[in-house]
Structure 1
Amino acid sequence: MADDERSPDEEFQELLRQILGGSGGEIDPERLAQLSGMNLDPQTMQMLMRQLQNAFQNSDGGIPWDTARTQALHLANQSDLGITAGDRHDLDEAFALATLWLGEATTISELSSPPRAITRGTWVEETLPVWQELAEPVATSIADALTNALREQMPEDMDDLLQGAGRLMRTVGGTLFATQLGHVVGRLSTEVVSGGDVGIPVMPSGVAAIVPQNFADFGRDLEIAEDQLALYVATRELAHARLFRHAKWLRLHVISQVTEFARGIRVDTDALEDLAARFDPSEPEELRHALESGALLPSRSDTQTAALERLENLLATIEGWVEVVTDDATSRLPSAHRIAEVVRRRRAVGGPGEKALGSLVGLELRPRRMREAAAMWRAVTDAVGVEARDALWDYADLMPTAEDIDDPASLVARLEARARGEEPARDEVDDALARLLAEAEDDRPDGPAPDGPAPDGPTRA
Structure 2
Amino acid sequence: MDDKPGDQPENPFRGTPFEQFFGGGGMPDLNALMHQMQAMMAPHDGAVNWQLAGDLARQVIAQEKDPSPSQRDADQVADAVRLADLWLDEATEFDSGVTSTAAWSRAEWLEQTKERWQILVEPVAEHVVGAMGQAMPEEAKAMAGPLIGMLSQLGGAMFGGQVGQALGGLAGEVLTASDIGLPLGPDGRAALVPANVRAFSDGLDVGYDDVLLHLALREAAHQRLFAHVPWLRDHLMSAVADYGRGISIDTAGIEEQLSSINPMDPEAMQEALAGGLFEPKRTPAQEAALQRLETTLALVEGWVDEVVNQAAAERMPTAAKLQEAVRRRRAAGGPAEETFSALVGLELRPRRLRDAATLWGSLRSRQGVEARDTVWLHPDLLPTAADLDDPLGFREGQELPAELSEADFDAALRELLDGQSPDEGTA
| TM-score range relative to shorter protein | 0.7 to 0.9
- Which one of 239, 243, 246 corresponds to residue 257 of structure 1? 239
Instruction: Please tell me the residue identity of whatever aligns with 2:266.
Output: P
1:88 paired with 2:74, answer yes
Instruction: Please tell me the residue identity of whatever aligns with 1:348.
Output: A
- Which one of 393, 397, 400 corresponds to residue 413 of structure 1? 397
Moved more, 231-240 or 206-215: 206-215
| Offset at residue 47 of structure 1 (A) | 4.1
CA distance in 2 between partners of 1:281 and 1:41 (Å)? 17
- Which one of 342, 353, 367 corresponds to residue 370 of structure 1? 353
Aligned ranges 1:52-451 → 2 under 5 Å: 52-55=40-43, 63-79=48-64, 80-151=66-137, 154=140, 159=142, 161-270=143-252, 272-273=254-255, 276=258, 277-278=260-261, 281-282=266-267, 286-287=271-272, 289-290=274-275, 296-331=278-313, 332-405=315-388, 406=390, 408-417=392-401, 419=403
CA distance in 2 between partners of 1:390 and 1:130 (Å)? 26
Q: State whether residues 313 and 402 of structure 1, in contact with CA within 8 Å, keep that contact through their aligned partners in structure 2.
A: yes
Closer, same or farther: CA 47–271 of 1 in aligned 2, 3 Å: farther
> Could you list the per-position Cα deviations for residues 394-414 of structure 1 after superposition, in whole angstroms to 9, with x for gaps in the alignment?
344444444544355452532
Partner of 1:40: 19
Equivalenced residue count is 399
Q: Structure 2 length normalisation: TM-score?
A: 0.81
Q: Is the partner of 2:68 in helix, strand or coil? A: coil
CA distance in 2 between partners of 1:36 and 1:432 (Å)? 47
Instruction: Please tell me the residue identity of whatever aligns with 1:313.
Output: T
Where structure 2 has 5 or more consecutive residues not aligned to the other structure, the ranges are 1-10, 22-28
| Offset at residue 315 of structure 1 (A) | 1.1
Partner of 1:21: none
Q: State whether residues 191 and 219 of structure 2, in contact with CA within 8 Å, keep that contact through their aligned partners in structure 1.
A: yes
| Offset at residue 354 of structure 1 (A) | 0.6
| Offset at residue 417 of structure 1 (A) | 4.4
Instruction: Please tell me the residue identity of whatever aligns with 2:322.
Output: I
Q: State whether residues 38 and 288 of structure 1, in contact with CA within 8 Å, keep that contact through their aligned partners in structure 2.
A: no
Where structure 1 has 5 or more consecutive residues not aligned to the other structure, the ranges are 1-31, 438-454
**Higher helix fraction (1 or 2):** 1
Q: State whether residues 135 and 249 of structure 2, in contact with CA within 8 Å, keep that contact through their aligned partners in structure 1.
A: no
| Offset at residue 346 of structure 1 (A) | 1.1
For the aligned residues, what is the CA RMSD?
A: 3.6
Q: Is the partner of 1:341 in helix, strand or coil? A: helix
Closer, same or farther: CA 85–359 of 1 in aligned 2, 3 Å: same
| Offset at residue 179 of structure 1 (A) | 2.1
CA distance in 1 between partners of 2:304 and 2:218 (Å)? 7
Q: State whether residues 67 and 195 of structure 2, in contact with CA within 8 Å, keep that contact through their aligned partners in structure 1.
A: yes
Whose radius of gyration is greater, 1 or 2?
1
CA distance in 2 between partners of 1:302 and 1:96 (Å)? 45
Partner of 1:50: 38
Moved more, 388-397 or 304-313: 388-397
> Could you list the per-position Cα deviations for residues 160-188 of structure 1 after superposition, in whole angstroms to 9, with x for gaps in the alignment?
x5233322321222122122212211111
Instruction: Please tell me the residue identity of whatever aligns with 2:68.
Output: G
Closer, same or farther: CA 287–85 of 1 in aligned 2, 3 Å: farther
Q: Structure 1 length normalisation: TM-score?
A: 0.75
